[in-house]
Amino acid sequence: MRSFFVAVLLILAGAAHAADPDVLWKIVHDRCVPNQMQNHDPKPCAEVTADAALLKDLVGVAQYLLIPTARITGMEAPELLARETPNYFAAAWQARHFMDGKLGKTLPPDAVSLAINSVTGRSQNQLHIHIDCVRADVRAALEAKAGAITAAWTPQAMPAGLPAYQVRRVSDLDRNPFRLLAAEIPAAAADFGHWTLVAVGAKFPDGSNGFYLLARAGNALALDFGSGEELQDHACAVAG
């Protein structure tokens, strides 16, 4: 009975998502990449490289999506943990300047976040990292707890209405966050597809710059589908 209930919840969640879960893949594979190769024009994407395309999301004033040019479904894909797979989080961070162009100003690093939703918390079956502003209250909560956030994953409460996350700090994104999460949290490695992962730019108490990595598993029974995008603000209030 429990498995049947979970299956119903997942079906309902899927019904609420986009009618075509392959829209992003079709845009990148059928339009952006061919246009770049044939005409040196990435449209309708903003940029196309050998590894990924950057597409302005219809939602949000400055939200972009980093989408691999290879077929990778999402968090559950084993390719994410392969050493030969590009570091998509690092590439997404390098692309944040496109947000600045939309906003007409340069955002400080600690105003920017990168998020990938779990298999049950997404609408598309092509991996995509949301590049957008962090919620102001989330930013404030992380700053308030900065002294307690170390290089080890620890549970941290988020602002009211948000679930707790496992949080750790890193100095950069050079070590692939996907592999870092799988290597350091056994529960995530055992059920990677149902985890969500977020990186938020940070200025640490000692004055150095880096990132907070936040991760957690969804819980379908609690109607929590594991969407780290909940930590983002698509209206980008932190931009002023």
Dist CA 40 CA 55 (whole Å): 16
pLDDT band at 2 (very low <50, low <70, confident <90, very high): very low
Of 29-38, 124-133, 214-223, the least confident: 214-223
What is the structure's pLDDT at 31?
98
What is the structure's pLDDT at 229?
97
Q: Is the sign of the CA dihedral 84, 90, 92, 95 positive or negative? A: negative
pLDDT tens, residue by residue, 173-218: 999 999 999 999 999 999 999 999 999 999 999 999 999 999 999 8
Is residue 10 predicted with pLDDT exceeding 80?
no
Is residue 1 predicted with pLDDT exceeding 60?
no
What domains appear along the chain, each with residue ranges and CATH number? 2-22+70-239 (3.30.428.30)
**If DSSP codes are grouped into helix, strand and coil, which group holds residue 37?**
helix
pLDDT tens, residue by residue, 31-63: 999 999 999 999 999 999 999 999 999 999 999
pTM, to two decimals:
0.91
Residues belonging to the chain? 240
Dist CA 91 CA 66 (whole Å): 8
Q: Which whole number is the average pLDDT over 135-152?
A: 96
CA–chain centroid gap for 45, Å, is 18
